[in-house]
Amino acid sequence: MSKSRTQKEELLKMYKEIIENRAGYLLVNSDKIDTSTVTKLKIELKDVGANFTVLKNSIFKVALQDANQPLQVQEFDGPTALITFEEDPTAPAKLVKKVQKEMELLSPRSGVYEGEFLTAGRVMQLADIPSREVLLSRLVGTMNAPLTGFMNAITGNVRGLTMILKGISEKKA
């Protein structure tokens, strides 16, 4: 069904806001996906702070050009969906990879994260990166390891002396 001019202008405005106010977005093929899978995916994406929107390609291309997005992103045809995210690009990429692996429905086309163009291969590489929380916990563990080793070295001598004194006191008793 054809959209009126005012509907197209509102859609263009919405697309521009999405592009400018989000940290990034992923473009995926949406030609084979069914309604139940989309609904399930939307719920999972909302849980990780991302949104799923089926695009009107011609209007979205105009929004990309107006927002000075990388030229490579502007080259796509066919049914396309947009997954936008605010902070962590790995979580939506993992969900796309999961749906693609389970049902072979979604396939990434490209994306943009903080102004940098992402190919379909790089989007799939994002899915293999641990989440931000996991990376931060690994960093804290790595920073904590030398301190833990130092404390064990210091308390080890005291612990050994305590055990020797306890053994001597038990022999005398």
Euclidean distance between CA atoms 112 and 114, whole angstroms:
7
Statement: the pTM of the whole predicted model exceeds 0.85: no
Question: Strands 24-29 and 108-113, how do they pair?
Answer: antiparallel
Domain boundaries, the chain: 5-129, 130-173
Binned at pLDDT 50, 70 and 90, residue 71 comes out as low
Binned at pLDDT 50, 70 and 90, residue 74 comes out as low
Task: Work out the average pLDDT over 4-10.
Answer: 86
Convert the pLDDT of each residue in 31-59 to its tens digit.
777 788 888 888 888 888 888 888 888 88
Q: What is the pLDDT of residue 56?
A: 86
Binned at pLDDT 50, 70 and 90, residue 173 comes out as low
Residues whose CB falls within 8 Å of the CB of residue 21, separated by 6 or more in sequence, listed in order: none
CB of 28 closer than 8 Å to CB of 107:
yes
The CATH homologous superfamily to which domain 5-129 belongs is Ribosomal protein L10, N-terminal RNA-binding domain (3.30.70.1730)
Between the two ends of the chain, the Cα-to-Cα distance in Å is 96
- What CA–CA distances, in Å, run from 54 to 80, 135, 152, 161? 6, 32, 57, 70
Q: What is the pLDDT of residue 160?
A: 83
Q: What is the pLDDT of residue 15?
A: 86
Question: Strands 116-119 and 108-113, how do they pair?
Answer: antiparallel
Using the predicted structure, report yes or no on whether residue 161 has a pLDDT greater than 80: yes
Convert the pLDDT of each residue in 138-154 to its tens digit.
888 888 778 777 777 78
Structure tokens at 22: 């989000």
CB of 116 closer than 8 Å to CB of 89:
no
Convert the pLDDT of each residue in 82-116 to its tens digit.
888 887 788 888 888 888 777 777 778 888 888 78
**How many Å is the Cα radius of gyration of the chain?**
26
Higher-scoring residue by pLDDT: 36, 75: 36
Mean pLDDT for the chain? Answer: 82
